[in-house]
Amino acid sequence: MSSRGQPLSNSISTIFDEEFPLTLEPKIEKLTFGSNYAIQGIPLSETIGFYNNTDNTYKLTVTTGESPKYELSVDESKFTIKKGERIQIKITLVFRHYATMGLTGQVQFSLKKKSLMGGESIQRALRFQLEGVVPAYNEKDLVKSSDDEQFRVGMINGVLSMVKNESVVAFKYNVKDEFEKQDYEFIQSVYRDIHHPAILGMAGIVLSSSTILLDGDTVTDLQSLMEKEKMAVPFLL
C-alpha cells in the first residue's frame, strides 16, 4: 500500500538526473497510464522500476498524492535496494467520482543511503495530467428511446437511448462471453488510448450492466477503427 497522509510539494524536481543515484526504468518524464482519459470507476495502471547501479544500499519510500476525486496507490511503498538490484512499482489510478478539473497528481520518491538513515533524503516526483474523465451512470439513468434505430458494431446492436437528457447509443455486452468481453475492453481502451485522442465520443458507461454509451456521431468512427485494428471482426451499420 502507498504511504499517505501528507501533502506533496509541487516544487520537488521531476528530473531523475545524476543527483538521484537510482536509474529510473523506463526513462520517462511523467506518468501517462497510457491514456489521455480515464473512465470513472475503472482503474488505470502503470509500472515503473529503479535500478541500483551504485556500490551503496538505499532505502526508498514512495508516497502518493491524495485527492477527493481519485485514489492513487502503489503496490508497495518501502524498499531496500542493494547494489545491482532492480525493483518494480505498480502505480494505480482510479477516479471514484466524475471530474472535469483537478485531473492532476503525483507520486513522490524519497531516497536515503542505508548507512546514513539520519541524513537528508533525495526527493523526486513523477506527475500525471489527464484530459478528462468519462462518467459512470446507474442503470436507472439509462432510458431506451427507440427499438427501431439500432447501430451495429462488431457483434452488438447499439440502441438509441437517453441518459441525463443526453442522446446516446447504448451497447450492452455480455462479459461472460469471451468475444463480447474482448470488444467491451477494446472499446474502453480505444477511448482512453493516448494514440486516439481525437476519437473521444464515449458519453459514459454503466458498469453494473457492462454497457458503453457512445455519442451517435462517433459510432461510425469506432466501427472504422475496430475494422482497421481487428480485421477478423465483421462490421455492419
Q: Per the domain annotation, does 70 fall within a domain?
A: yes
Yes or no: say if 169 and 219 are a contact pair by the CB < 8 Å rule.
yes
Neighbour count for residue 140 (Cβ, 10 Å): 7
162 and 188 in a single domain? The answer is: yes
Distance between CA atoms of 29 and 129, rounded to whole angstroms? 12
Q: Per the domain annotation, does 15 fall within a domain?
A: no
Kind of pairing, strands 122-129 and 104-113? antiparallel
Residue 111 domain boundaries: 23-134
Distance between CA atoms of 201 and 218, rounded to whole angstroms? 6
Alpha helix (H) residue ranges in 42-85: none
Ramachandran sector of residue 165 (left: φ over 0; alpha: ψ -120 to 50; beta: rest): left
122 and 50 in a single domain? The answer is: yes
pLDDT in tens, 169-195: 899 999 999 989 988 998 888 777 765
Kind of pairing, strands 37-39 and 132-134? parallel
Distance between CA atoms of 225 and 211, rounded to whole angstroms? 19
144 and 110 in a single domain? The answer is: no
pLDDT winner (highest mean) among 89-103, 112-126, 179-193, 197-211: 89-103
127 and 42 in a single domain? The answer is: yes
Given a cut of 80, whether residue 71 has pLDDT beyond it is yes
Ramachandran sector of residue 41 (left: φ over 0; alpha: ψ -120 to 50; beta: rest): left
Q: Per the domain annotation, does 16 fall within a domain?
A: no
Q: Across the chain, where does the E strand assignment appear?
A: 23-25, 37-39, 44-51, 58-64, 70-74, 78-81, 86-95, 104-113, 122-129, 132-134, 142-144, 150-153, 156-163, 166-172, 202-206, 211-214
40 and 85 in a single domain? The answer is: yes
Helix (H, G, I), strand (E, B) or coil at 139: helix
* Mean pLDDT, rounded, for 92-107: 92
Distance between CA atoms of 94 and 222, rounded to whole angstroms? 25
pLDDT in tens, 2-31: 444 445 566 799 999 999 999 999 999 999
Given a cut of 80, whether residue 57 has pLDDT beyond it is yes
179 and 96 in a single domain? The answer is: no
Tell the residue number behind the cell numbers 457512445, with chain if given.
214
Counting the structural domains of the chain, the total is 2
Domain boundary among 134, 158, 192: 134
Supply φ then ψ for residue 145, to 5 degrees. Answer: -90, -40
149 and 121 in a single domain? The answer is: no
pTM, two decimals, is: 0.83
Tell the residue number behind the cell numbers 489527464, with chain if given.
130
107 and 194 in a single domain? The answer is: no
111 and 205 in a single domain? The answer is: no
Q: Per the domain annotation, does 218 fall within a domain?
A: yes
- Nearest alpha carbon to residue 129 among 167, 155, 103: 103
Given a cut of 70, whether residue 156 has pLDDT beyond it is yes
